[in-house]
Amino acid sequence: MSPEEQQEEQVLVDAAAHAERRSYAVSMAAVVKSLTSAEPATAPEIAEVKLAEAESRAAIKALEDFQHRH
């Protein structure tokens, strides 16, 4: 693997890790709110959880695709 490809892979690893951490944090915040509040989750809160999960899946897929090509 060339240095440029190694750098690209590291960027993808970092992006996947960041997306996973964000997804976990957003999901945990939603869980804590649901356990401590009588109010249901709002549409924007639900959308944020879904978006974070989708971003995480997309980042992991991009990394996997890169690794399969190299």
26, 50 in Cβ contact below 8 A?
Answer: no
Collect all residues with Cβ–Cβ distance below 8 Å to 62 and sequence separation of at least 6: 12, 15, 16
* CA-based radius of gyration for the chain: 16
Give the pLDDT confidence score for residue 1 in this predicted structure. 86
Number of domains in the chain: 1
Give the pLDDT confidence score for residue 59 in this predicted structure. 98
| CA–CA gap between residue 53 and residue 5 (Å, rounded) | 27
23, 51 in Cβ contact below 8 A?
Answer: no
pLDDT digit string (tens) for the chain, length 70 residues: 899 999 999 999 999 999 999 999 999 999 999 999 988 889 999 999 999 999 999 999 999 999 999 9
User: Tokens standing for 40?
Assistant: 């249901």
Domain hosting 27: range is 3-69
